[in-house]
């Protein structure tokens, strides 16, 4: 029996910022993140910088060396300033999405002394450049267009820290639009899950996940949140996040959904 045909448990943290996010510590280099993830006993992490995927490649390469599965991702800021994670099974799709989002980013120059530097890294953990445009700006992409983008770029959208008091679906939009199509949401635990689901029945049919939203090395999750996946490929990990009905829908719509 190979690794690919049996269900295994994976400790995850799908929301981690690198030093490319201005608010991320400068020692959040891809290499340090991977080593910390290993130390904490995680199996799979996602790199989700604000409105960019450009440190994902370095993290994926370093993850391969250390036996940590790295999912390329992004924390997108919509027009309404709602934060939404996008995870991808391939770097190429992530980078196509990155280009699209960069075109839609409201361009304001970064002020490194105020917001922090935005460091681009290579697989040897060396700084190879700095992004000059402020990445924590909003884009002009409305929340209502995300389901179409998810499909176009074969990603998985996950509204981030859904009940947080700022930059979240429930605080910025105030409700979950009834035409929403997402099936995974990130929840911080600030509010009890039952209350959250009672106030937002839509969430009853979602998988709720918990991540660290780490901006500093010490914030990266301990090995406490787990998913079961059939195989250790990025596709298998993302597929494991889907709820069964949604999985069927995706299969009907598109063979190669990621």
Interface contacts to Zn ion, rule CB under 5 A: 75, 83, 160, 213
Least Å distance, CB 235 to Zn ion, is 24
Shortest distance (Å) from residue 249 CB to Zn ion: 27
Q: How far is CA 94 from CA 37, 71, 175, 228, 237, in A?
A: 22, 10, 28, 24, 16
Alpha-carbon span 251 to 185, nearest angstrom: 21
Instruction: Select 83 or 154, whichever has its Cβ closest to Zn ion.
Output: 83
- Helix (H) / strand (E) containing 210: none
Q: Which is nearer to Zn ion, 161 or 250 (CB)?
A: 161
Smallest separation, CB 207 to Zn ion (Å): 19
CB of 196 to Zn ion, least distance (A): 17
Q: At its nearest, how many Å lie between Zn ion and the CB of residue 188?
A: 10
- Closest to Zn ion by CB, 44 vs 84, is 84
The nearer residue to Zn ion, 160 or 169, going by C-beta atoms, is: 160
- Nearest residue to Zn ion by CB is 83
Q: Smaller CB distance to Zn ion: residue 171 or 232?
A: 171
CB 226 → Zn ion: shortest distance, Å? 21
Q: Are 212 and 250 in contact (CB under 8 A)?
A: no
**What does 82-138 look like in DSSP terms, one character per residue?**
-EEEEEESSHHHHHHHHHHHHHHBPP-B--HHHH---EEE-TTS-EEEE--B-TTS-
Report helix, strand and coil shares of the chain as percent, to nearest 5: 35, 25, 40
Are 119 and 20 spatial neighbours (Cβ–Cβ below 8 Å)? Answer: yes
Determine which helix (DSSP H) or strand (DSSP E) holds 180, and give its type and residue range: none
- Cβ atoms of 25 and 215 within 8 Å: the answer is yes
| H-assigned helices in the chain | 30-40, 56-66, 91-104, 112-115, 146-152, 193-199, 234-241, 244-253
Per DSSP, 79 falls in state T
CA–CA gap between residue 113 and residue 213 (Å, rounded): 23
- Nearer of residues 22 and 229 to Zn ion, judged by Cβ: 22
Q: Closest CB to Zn ion among 98 and 239?
A: 98
State the minimum distance, in angstroms, from the CB of residue 83 to Zn ion.
4
């Amino acid at each position: 029996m190979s690794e690919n045909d049996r269900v295994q448990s994976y400790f995850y943290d799908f929301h981690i910022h690198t030093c490319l996010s201005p608010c991320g510590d400068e020692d959040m280099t891809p290499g340090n993140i991977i080593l910390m993830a290993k130390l904490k006993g995680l199996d799979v992490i996602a790199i989700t910088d604000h409105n960019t995927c450009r440190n994902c490649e370095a993290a994926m390469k370093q993850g391969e060396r250390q036996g940590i599965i790295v999912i390329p991702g992004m924390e997108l800021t919509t027009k309404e300033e709602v934060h939404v994670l996008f995870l991808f099974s391939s770097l190429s799709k992530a980078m196509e999405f990155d280009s699209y989002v960069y075109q839609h980013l409201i361009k304001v120059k970064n002020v490194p002394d105020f917001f922090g530097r935005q460091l681009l890294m290579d697989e040897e953990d060396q700084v190879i450049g700095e992004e000059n445009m402020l990445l924590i700006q909003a884009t002009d992409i409305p929340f209502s267009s995300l389901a179409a983008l998810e499909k176009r770029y074969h990603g998985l959208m996950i509204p981030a820290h859904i009940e947080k008091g700022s930059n979240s679906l429930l605080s910025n939009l105030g409700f979950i639009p009834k035409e929403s199509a997402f099936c995974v949401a990130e929840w911080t635990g600030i509010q009890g899950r039952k209350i959250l689901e009672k106030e937002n029945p839509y969430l009853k049919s979602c998988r709720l996940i918990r991540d660290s939203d780490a901006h500093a090395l010490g914030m990266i999750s301990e090995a406490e949140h787990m998913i079961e996946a059939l195989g250790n490929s990025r596709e298998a990990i993302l597929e494991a996040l889907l709820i069964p009905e949604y999985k069927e829908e995706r299969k009907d719509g598109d063979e190669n959904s990621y």
